Homo-oligomer: A and B are copies of this chain.
Amino acid sequence: MIEGLQRNYAYLFEDELLKEISEIGTYKEVPEGFILMDIGDYIKSMPLILSGAIKVMREDEKGDDLILYFVEQGDTCAMTITCCMGETKSEIRAVAETDTRIIMIPIQKMQEWMHKYKSWQSFILQSYHERMKELLEAVDTIAFLKMDERLYKYLRDKAMVNRDDLIKTTHQEIAQDLHTSRVVVSRLLKKLETENKIKLYRNSIKIINL
């Protein structure tokens, strides 16, 4: 049994399914920054996350990015399901936020299990539900929050999935994730610092009271 499979999925799947997963799925370790899936890719397998976190992004016509949400261990990427089922191209980019361990399930098994295991069907539908909710939260964030609030939320989310209140990043990288400019990020970070919500260092930011 692959380490982490038991821990994250045992309460979801029956033993027989867990056994099939560990037999058929291919274990994979990817480093931070690794692009698991890109926009336009055809997906032939679906990832179950054992540990780590994945950043899900959308791209505009100019090729600029926007973060949608983070996905953590115990989850899968519902957009993958979508793509696998429909045999269509990926609409999003998935990038490893940290070093990440996953199990890849080939598309045929995925569909086979939909009929064979009730727990698998529930998991797939549940994943859709979760991702739908994440997407709606992303809409809320983008549509209803001002940039300083979005920035603060982003920092907190990032600290959360990295399990570290010291975030290692640059203003430039943040600007790319939030689809704004470096100058705007620097300005608002400075404001957050004067409000005692964060502390700024070179190449890193510390969240106060996470």
Contacts and interface: CB of A to CB of B under 8 A. Distances in A.
A139 B179 CA distance: 12
Interface string A132-145: 11011011101110
A153 interface: no
Given A86-B126, A129-B82, A129-B86, A143 B140 contact: no
A79 interface: yes
Nearest to A178: B143
A19 interface: no
Nearest to A138: B139
A66 B136 CA distance: 12
A66 B139 CA distance: 10
Given A66-B139, A91-B132, A135-B139, 13 more contacts: A58-B139, A61-B144, A66-B143, A66-B144, A68-B139, A79-B132, A91-B136, A92-B136, A132-B132, A135-B135, A135-B136, A138-B139, A143-B179
Interface of A: 58, 60-61, 66, 68, 78-79, 81-82, 85-86, 88, 91-92, 114, 121, 125-126, 128-129, 131-133, 135-136, 138-140, 142-144, 179
23 contacts: A58-B143, A60-B140, A60-B143, A60-B144, A66-B139, A66-B144, A68-B139, A78-B132, A79-B132, A82-B129, A82-B132, A85-B125, A85-B129, A86-B125, A86-B129, A88-B129, A91-B132, A91-B136, A92-B136, A114-B121, A128-B128, A128-B132, A132-B132
